[in-house]
A and B are shown apart, each in its own frame.
Chain A
Amino acid sequence: MTESADDSLPLLSRRDDTPFAVLLSPTAALARQAPVVSTARFRRHVLALAEQLPAGEFAINLCDSRYLFCVAFCAALLRGHTNLLPPNRAAQTLATLERRHSCYYLVDGEVVDTQLPVLDLAGFEFPDGEAPAQALDIPGDHIAAECYTSGSTGESKPIPKRWSQLARANAVNGQRMLEDGGELVFQLATVPPQHMWGLETSVMLPLHHELTMTDTRPFYPADIVAQLQRLPTPRMLVSSPIHLRALLAHDPQTPLPQLQRVLCATAPLGQALAADVEARTGARLVEIYGCSELGSMASRATSETEVWSLFPGFSMWHDEGGATLARAPHIEEVAHLGDHLELLDESHFRLAGRTEDLLNIAGKRASLAEINRVLLEFDGIVDGVVFAPPQRAEQRLAALVVFRPGVDKSALLAHFRGRIDPAFIPRPIVDVPGLPRADSGKLPKEAVLALYAGRGRQAS
């Protein structure tokens, strides 16, 4: 559906006197204010920042503090700017974004090597006190943000998100992700706000629902536990399988903080792990299925069922080649899903594995073909291939590489580091005298795996 410019939707829609955010790790300026930020004070911060933003059209929003990210995100919207949300901080990723005209950076303490204007919110003097009640409307057709599917760089395609799409998805997400009854819940999230999963749950949800966000992004289990303990109840944790697994392995003797709800996404979570999370935290665990193009689109209570229930208005179907396509009620474009899905009826499905090319490592997605392209761009090699070896506990890629004389692995690693997310850098990189290419030039998968199994010694 096409929005006309008159179709404005509110930036904020929640009670003014409820806590919008709890600041566990405030900047110096914010530390002089109360750590619990009401909706009205949040609005004051947004309005103050909006006045001071650089001129431009695109805000590369790198803020690590979820609160400052959200203030920056909203301030940019008020000024009619678009938030660019890079999937990683690799130099080439940022260089690609900088090619957009009229960009500037919003950071909180990070030093960026750039010629563009940089506004560092770590030093921004946010005014204290509450802004008077005021409707802040954003045109529905405004491109609020651009997300990127790929964990690797170069040709990764921006996914524009209109404000109407984010706001409408937010209403459905509220119904499916939050408890009924509208009780205020305090949320901690381990996922970055720049990724679609983090953006939808930890930035968008609080704008239109009675949910209190937290500024941090804890990583180590001990930090997750300590920060949850500092939040009032009821509490919600937004996370991913990798963080939940670490949390459970943390210290089986120590009781975990009690939670009302855990939301998990980015990679499939096992039923046993889900049941374990519920048993240890008292939470109801809801797993969400989604993609960057459409956002969250289905959920399941993983401890009880492997069947996913589509969100209202979404549809899925197979094309003639067997690929799964999906459509959201608020987005015209059809998305190609990287998963093989078994469609049970019009609103239920099962996951039946991923297609070969698409990778999902630690919640980051990338195309294997694209990573191979990055490998072959390196002029210090004669030939090479990156592949996903089967049966490795923590999924990592591996590479077989034929180096030019005098070139070693460290130069190739430096090449990768500037271009792709560390999660996708192959390990090990095996130095081989040649690749088992067929006469056609094709590289049979079995031969690659056999060579890899012998770690570079040509299989007989």
Chain B
Amino acid sequence: MVNQSSFEQEIAALLVEVLDLEDVRPDEIDPAAPLFGEGLGLDSIDALEVALAISQRYGVQMKAEEENTQQAFSNLQKLCEFIDSRR
């Protein structure tokens, strides 16, 4: 169990649901741990799925051309800040 804000809990649950991460519990996702590569091990297909879910639920568009998008996927905390600042 790691320390998550309530919005981080919400997005962690979204990640687990959208990506079918059945061997990960939402409350296990460390907000500061990388989502791709060595952390949760997500890949580019996952990024597409997450981007779609975020645009559908929060109306926030991910665009690779914006610097912030690259950072947004670095960890759960950054992803939440990204969504929160745009919705």
Contact = CB atoms under 8 A, between A and B. Distances in A.
A394 B50 CA distance: 13
B43 interface: yes
A220 B21 contact: no
A219 B48 contact: yes
B52 to A, nearest CB: 5
> Which of B20, B43, B47 lies at the interface centre, i.e. has the most chain A CB atoms within 10 A of its CB?
B43
Contacts of B64: 218-220, 223
Contacts of A392: 20
Interface residues of A, number: 32
A272 B42 CA distance: 29
Contacts of A226: 63, 65
B45 A423 contact: yes
Contact of A428 (B22, B47, B49, B56): B22
A218 B43 CA distance: 16
Contact of A396 (B20, B37, B48): B20
A320 B19 CA distance: 42
What is the predominant secondary structure among interface residues of chain B facing chain A? Answer: loop
A250 interface: yes
Contacts of A223: 63-65
Interface residues of B, number: 24
Contacts of B45: 242, 361-362, 394, 423
A67 to B, nearest CB: 17
Contacts of A250: 52, 55
A249 interface: yes
A90 B21 CA distance: 23
B9 to A, nearest CB: 21
A220 B41 contact: no
A223 B69 CA distance: 11
A278 B77 CA distance: 39
B61 interface: yes
Contact of B55 (A219, A251, A428, A430): A251
A249 B41 CA distance: 25
A422 interface: yes
B37 to A, nearest CB: 7
Contacts of A219: 44, 47-48, 64
A222 interface: yes
> Which of A243, A362, A394, A396 lies at the interface centre, i.e. has the most chain B CB atoms within 10 A of its CB?
A394
B67 interface: no
Contacts of A218: 64
Nearest to A421: B43
Given A223-B63, A392-B20, A417 B52 contact: no
Nearest to B62: A220
Given A220-B64, A226-B63, A250-B55, A425 B41 contact: yes
Given A249-B56, A414-B38, A222 B62 contact: yes
Nearest to B53: A249
Given A249-B56, A423-B43, A220 B20 contact: no
A362 B45 CA distance: 7
Given A219-B64, A223-B64, A422 B43 contact: yes
A394 B20 contact: yes
A427 interface: yes
6 nearest A-B pairs in the assembled complex, by CB-CB distance = A422-B43, A428-B23, A222-B61, A222-B63, A362-B45, A220-B62
Given A25-B65, A250-B52, 12 more contacts: A219-B47, A219-B48, A221-B52, A222-B61, A394-B49, A396-B20, A417-B37, A417-B38, A423-B45, A425-B43, A427-B23, A428-B22
